[in-house]
Structure 1
Amino acid sequence: MSMQTTSAYHLVNRAKAVVPYIIIARGWLAVVGGFACLFVSFGWITCIGVFQAYYGTHQLQAYSASAVGWIPSAETFLLFLGVPVFGGLFDRLGPTWLLAVGTVLHVGGLLGAAHATTYAQLFGTQGVVSATGTGAIFVAGTSAVGTWFRARRGLALGLVSAGSALGAVLGTALIPVLFDRIGFPWTMRAVALTYLVLMAVAMATTSRRPQPSGRSPAPFLLSSLLPVSLLRSRPVLVLATACFFYFLGVFIPYNYLVVEARDAGDGEQPANNLLVILSATSTVGRIVPGVLGDRYGRFNTTIAFTLFSVVLVLCVWIAAPWRAGRIVFAALYGFGSGTFVSMVPTLVAQVCPDMSQLGLHLGAVYLVIAPSVLIAQPLGGALASAGRNHQARDSYVWLKAFCAVSMALGVAGFVAARAAYQGNSGKLFKGGHV
């Protein structure tokens, strides 16, 4: 073997040795980008309680709580409905185009909301345009990270979802202060500028794992935008149904805890602090389940944490309807409910047999989830109004009971989804690292 051949051989071997480190680096860079994506998408959506309370006493004070609730409900609904639409596009185009489109819509919608004064204008800019952009950003961030990791996928997606918790903490803490100091229009402009900077970071760092060489992409079909056919898979269908019921209740405290505290006379700042506490503890609650899920099973961890959240609603929020009880509930519920952001994409990735179709599988599940978040807040507003009319000791008790029942049905669904994934639908409580 000549000296030149030997040198070339060593160079090739060195290049092969470096490849795994490049893959690892790109994967963790995608986590950075995903963190930024969740900060500006789900982090923004989690601030809905601030706007529910603010609109009810300012621009939309002439409207009922149920009518105002349609704006944050539409935001959450369109984020989730965007997952099936943008999920199929992600599988074909990758994250960059989705991030660009999502940034234009989300930032543009917020700038439009800064000038909005009527119900229709706020609904259109914040509830439709901005929300559609968050759907594209959410899909790009979570799906890209899911393609890079397998053994540590729970940890990676947990770190990504912590971005939404941090976004919610800063949003719920700062937005009410900015409303008072610089006014609603400039607050929305400041948020839009911040999100624009973060999306520049996301577009520079977010990528998906390269597809196998020689593999041609599947032909694009309009049915890919609404991947209903994937629900024929029993694990996917049962998981989606479980998520529907759980999401029907899980957002209610995020939206109505502040309103309840204000009605009880806690004052504007103490009431807003509840949402800050909830969002802060949610940061830990989105990372810890991912770590535990990698070790003890992602279905097992999800069931444990979602059940914990149901117990909190029943034993704290309902049983202790006063200021100290609300503070304790906010702290613990943030930790327990943080699972719903970090673990659902992880569970979808677990039941997905082909990572090149992860976006489609996410879309199928979130297609089922979307109607639940659309009706949850207006229904919650109706239940809250009904409770106030009856002048009970706790006028929000019907709202809280609905929250607990919906989430409990979701927990039962996660147990059934675990059994379906194991191929033992008749043995709901079969153990194992699942």
Structure 2
Amino acid sequence: MASSTFAERTTPGALTDTEGNISDQSTATGIPSPSRASSEKASPIAAAPATAAPDAEKQPSTGPPPGGPWGAGPPPPNGGFSAWLQVASVFFIFFNTWGLLNTFGIFQTYYESPDSIFQPPGSVSSSNISWIGSIQSFMVLLGGLISGPLYDRGYLKQLICLGAFGVVFGHMMLSLAKEYYQALLAQGFVVGLGAGMMFTPGVAVLQSYFSTKIGLATGLAAAGSSFGGVVYPIVFYRLIDRIGYGWSVRVIGFIALGTLAVPVVFLKQRSKPGRVRAFVDMTAFSDGPYMLFTFGAFVGFIGLYTMLFYLSFFGLDTGATDPAMAFYIVPILNAASMFGRTLPNWLSDRVGPFNILIPGALVCGGLTLGMIGVKGLGAIIAIAILFGFFSGVFIALPTVCYIVLTKDKSRLGSRIGMGYAFLGLATLIGGPGGGAILQQTGSGGGHNWTGMWTFGGVMLLASGVLFAVLRGWRFGVRLMMKA
């Protein structure tokens, strides 16, 4: 979004913040600006006749050239081949970022099995194994702290190429791992940071192509994470007995290479702010709604990861499922979440993202607490389907919420990156924290599943309450209103 002084900018509807940055909220959000008409009438600059500046032809051109790649450009098209091609590109970014994160439950189950690369069996604890997935998730979200501001500076293509290399190279190195620290470095740090270079720019780029349909576009793109969470576990499980661990992981790397070619080639940044922002937007810390939403999502992510990491292992450990079926619990959950990341987002364009996020968090909390009484395979599958559907809001809607809460869209990349970096800390608590509780002796001398499910469920319920408080503060307490 181009920046200029107010005296130089005469385009109707352009607003300025205290730093002199141009922000046209009507083009950024699709909502007409109420100050547009009044600013045209009240501004002496806008009312001045053309003869008031006889040397105007000598002055530099005001504003960006029409359609310029670095200017504000026209309003988001909200459709068309180019816009939907961006959605397809971001779909494959989700496929290889959150799709891989959603796959870690299958690795957790494998790493704890007698056939694990970590020998002898049981030499690495559940909590330590979960650190691999937690660090991978943390790096994906922490990467936004770097990639968000770099996206604002126009380095989208470089970030996507660097991230794609990290994901593919990390899997090739993981295929050679024999020790715990090797898997931690390759799968946790290299794959995680590579995915982090792509995720925040991928979700941020859509807001320049969509305004009134941003929820639908983000939901369709986020479905890629569910699709990846179905494909990758099945590929891993079906191949590991045939070609071994090493080549199974290499196949995953080759799938990532092929699918990431789509965003590398086609993802395009439509515009970038003219003013270079700091990597950390300090104004965010005084933005109450932004901070409350980030904290609420942080609490929710803690609970979310207890279910994502341990649901598959729960069936195997308690004897509710056989080893073969335990590996299919993760794909079942992710298949259900494909609908949970499209339908609620489509509905959010009509009723508002917070009206979808609040019940989603509360239902996820109730389902997690319900795991305390689960005994058989049928109940596990039922909860996997329901949790997969409702948990989709935690992946697909935070970006939409950040777009709604960020008035100055030139700060969007930095704010999304900062928010997700903070959420990354939750992954370091949810997985290992749940694992630490699990290792405590439970009833009957086994794992403490009751304590772990209680921990995750309470966190998710608290998240729903915090979102409800934010909705009342930011939008009011009336139920029948878009928020």
Q: Structure 2 length normalisation: TM-score?
A: 0.80
Q: 2:138, 2:421 within 8 Å by CA — same for their partners in 1?
A: no
What is the Cα deviation at residue 85 of structure 1?
Answer: 1.6
Are 2:274 and 1:216 aligned?
A: yes
Are 2:117 and 1:59 aligned?
A: yes
What is the Cα deviation at residue 149 of structure 1?
Answer: 1.1
Higher normalized helix content (fraction of residues) = 1
Q: Which residue of 1 aligns with 2:298?
A: 244
Structure 1's 232 and 182: CA in aligned 2 closer, same or farther, altered over 3 A? same
Tell me which moved more, 277-286 or 391-400.
Answer: 391-400
What is the Cα deviation at residue 32 of structure 1?
Answer: 0.6
1:273 aligns with one of 308, 322, 328: 328
Q: 1:307, 1:411 within 8 Å by CA — same for their partners in 2?
A: yes
Q: Deviations over 1:156-191 (max 9, x none)?
A: 000000000000011122211211111111111111
Match of 1:246, SS state, is: helix
What is the Cα deviation at residue 138 of structure 1?
Answer: 1.1
Match of 2:212, SS state, is: coil
Q: Which residue of 2 aligns with 1:6?
A: none
Q: 2:222, 2:341 within 8 Å by CA — same for their partners in 1?
A: yes
Q: Give the fraction of aligned pairs with identical amino acids, expressed as a percent.
A: 27
Structure 1's 150 and 392: CA in aligned 2 closer, same or farther, altered over 3 A? farther
After TM superposition, the structure 1 = structure 2 runs for residues 11-26 of structure 1, keeping only pairs within 5 Å, are: 24-26=80-82
Q: Which residue of 1 aligns with 2:186?
A: 125
Q: 1:39, 1:165 within 8 Å by CA — same for their partners in 2?
A: yes
Q: 1:419, 1:430 within 8 Å by CA — same for their partners in 2?
A: no
2:407 aligns with one of 353, 360, 371: 353
Aligned-partner residue type, residue 104 of structure 2: I
What is the Cα deviation at residue 354 of structure 1?
Answer: 2.3
Q: Deviations over 1:215-236 (max 9, x none)?
A: 6332x54xx1x44541220111
Higher relative contact order, chain-length normalized (CA < 8 Å, sep 6+): 1
Are 2:104 and 1:48 aligned?
A: yes
Q: 1:245, 1:409 within 8 Å by CA — same for their partners in 2?
A: yes
State how far apart, in whole Å, the 2-side matches of 1:393 and 1:293 are. 43
State how far apart, in whole Å, the 1-side matches of 2:446 and 2:318 are. 11
After TM superposition, the structure 1 = structure 2 runs for residues 311-322 of structure 1, keeping only pairs within 5 Å, are: 311-314=366-369, 316-322=370-376
Q: Deviations over 1:216-262 (max 9, x none)?
A: 332x54xx1x4454122011100000011000011211110111111
Are 2:221 and 1:163 aligned?
A: no
2:260 aligns with one of 199, 211, 214: 199
What is the Cα deviation at residue 305 of structure 1?
Answer: 1.6
CA radius of gyration, larger in: 2
Q: Which residue of 2 aligns with 1:109?
A: 170
Tell me which moved more, 187-196 or 318-327.
Answer: 318-327
What is the Cα deviation at residue 74 of structure 1?
Answer: 0.5
Structure 1's 200 and 340: CA in aligned 2 closer, same or farther, altered over 3 A? same
State how far apart, in whole Å, the 1-side matches of 2:348 and 2:403 are. 13
Q: 1:166, 1:280 within 8 Å by CA — same for their partners in 2?
A: yes
State how far apart, in whole Å, the 1-side matches of 2:223 and 2:108 are. 23
State how far apart, in whole Å, the 1-side matches of 2:446 and 2:245 are. 35
Q: Which residue of 1 aligns with 2:39?
A: none
Match of 1:204, SS state, is: helix
What is the Cα deviation at residue 394 of structure 1?
Answer: 8.1
Aligned-partner residue type, residue 260 of structure 1: F
Q: 1:245, 1:406 within 8 Å by CA — same for their partners in 2?
A: yes
Structure 1's 63 and 228: CA in aligned 2 closer, same or farther, altered over 3 A? farther
Aligned-partner residue type, residue 362 of structure 1: I
Aligned-partner residue type, residue 142 of structure 2: L
Q: Structure 1 length normalisation: TM-score?
A: 0.88
Q: Deviations over 1:367-409 (max 9, x none)?
A: 2211111121111111112144x42798411110001100111
After TM superposition, the structure 1 = structure 2 runs for residues 219-368 of structure 1, keeping only pairs within 5 Å, are: 221=278, 224=279, 226-227=280-281, 229-265=283-319, 266-314=321-369, 316-368=370-422
Structure 1's 394 and 150: CA in aligned 2 closer, same or farther, altered over 3 A? same
Q: 2:307, 2:368 within 8 Å by CA — same for their partners in 1?
A: no
Q: 1:239, 1:365 within 8 Å by CA — same for their partners in 2?
A: no
Match of 2:482, SS state, is: coil
What is the Cα deviation at residue 339 of structure 1?
Answer: 0.9
Aligned-partner residue type, residue 54 of structure 1: Y
What is the Cα deviation at residue 356 of structure 1?
Answer: 2.4
Aligned-partner residue type, residue 203 of structure 1: V
Aligned-partner residue type, residue 209 of structure 2: W
Match of 1:251, SS state, is: helix
Structure 1's 292 and 326: CA in aligned 2 closer, same or farther, altered over 3 A? same
Q: Which residue of 2 aligns with 1:140?
A: 201
Structure 1's 284 and 117: CA in aligned 2 closer, same or farther, altered over 3 A? same
Q: 1:84, 1:359 within 8 Å by CA — same for their partners in 2?
A: no
What is the Cα deviation at residue 307 of structure 1?
Answer: 1.5
Match of 1:363, SS state, is: helix
Tell me which moved more, 166-175 or 151-160.
Answer: 166-175
Aligned-partner residue type, residue 215 of structure 2: G
Q: Which stretches in structure 1 are left out of the alignment for 5+ residues? A: 1-17
RMSD value, Cα: 2.0
Structure 1's 21 and 231: CA in aligned 2 closer, same or farther, altered over 3 A? closer
Aligned-partner residue type, residue 360 of structure 1: S
Tell me which moved more, 168-177 or 235-244.
Answer: 168-177
Are 2:100 and 1:100 aligned?
A: no
Q: 1:321, 1:394 within 8 Å by CA — same for their partners in 2?
A: no
Tell me which moved more, 318-327 or 275-284.
Answer: 318-327
What is the Cα deviation at residue 111 of structure 1?
Answer: 0.7
Q: Which residue of 1 aligns with 2:144?
A: 83
